[in-house]
């Protein structure tokens, strides 16, 4: 289980910085924004995630497993949006919003999937260190988003 101070630091310091950088278009292509609909409020919720774009599929690894807030939102409403730049610089740098339908894949090996997504993406692998810290030995969860 991750330490409470680490979760608070991530939520209150890291996330706002990354979200702002992504909204301004100055964040590296390592990151993307996930927009879900709040399960209780119905309001749009935005959280930074690692860029797992592969063609028309976006792969997402939840370091906190099913306990992550965005996972609860996906269970309640699987329609999501992703603001994403191409995963590799050679494919361009412009971020665009793309809609899709998310599915939880609890039987997928999330650690292996994360390793495969990180091949040829040094920024993704670096972000993986933070992911492992959040997972802290707990269950990671793979989420597949089929983009429209």
Please give the residue range of the domain that contains residue 116.
Answer: 4-147
List the CATH number of the domain containing 89: 2.30.110.10
What pLDDT was estimated at residue 130?
60
> Partners of 142 in the beta sheet?
61, 105
Q: Give the C-alpha separation, 116 to 62, whole Å.
A: 15
* Number of domain units in the chain: 1
The tens-digit pLDDT sequence of the chain (148 residues) is 566 777 788 778 877 888 888 777 777 778 889 999 999 999 999 998 988 898 899 999 998 889 899 999 999 999 999 998 765 666 666 778 999 999 999 999 988 888 888 777 766 666 666 665 555 556 889 999 999 9
Q: Give the C-alpha separation, 45 to 17, whole Å.
A: 16
Q: Give the C-alpha separation, 132 to 86, whole Å.
A: 24
> Partners of 79 in the beta sheet?
101
What's the predicted TM-score (pTM) here? 0.80
């Amino acid at each position: 289980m991750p330490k409470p101070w680490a979760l608070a630091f991530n939520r209150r310091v890291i996330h706002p910085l990354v979200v702002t950088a992504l909204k301004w278009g100055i964040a590296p292509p390592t990151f993307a924004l996930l927009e879900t609909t709040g399960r209780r409020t119905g309001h749009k919720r935005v959280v930074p995630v690692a860029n797992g774009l592969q063609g028309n599929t976006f792969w997402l690894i939840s370091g906190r497993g099913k306990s992550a807030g965005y996972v609860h939102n996906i269970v309640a409403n699987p329609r999501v949006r992703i603001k994403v730049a191409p995963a590799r610089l050679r494919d361009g740098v412009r971020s665009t919003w793309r809609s899709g339908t998310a599915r939880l894949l609890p039987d997928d090996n999330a650690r292996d999937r994360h390793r495969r997504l990180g091949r040829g993406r040094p920024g993704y692998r670096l972000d993986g260190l933070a992911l492992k810290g959040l997972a802290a030995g707990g269950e990671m969860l793979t989420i597949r988003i089929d983009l429209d």
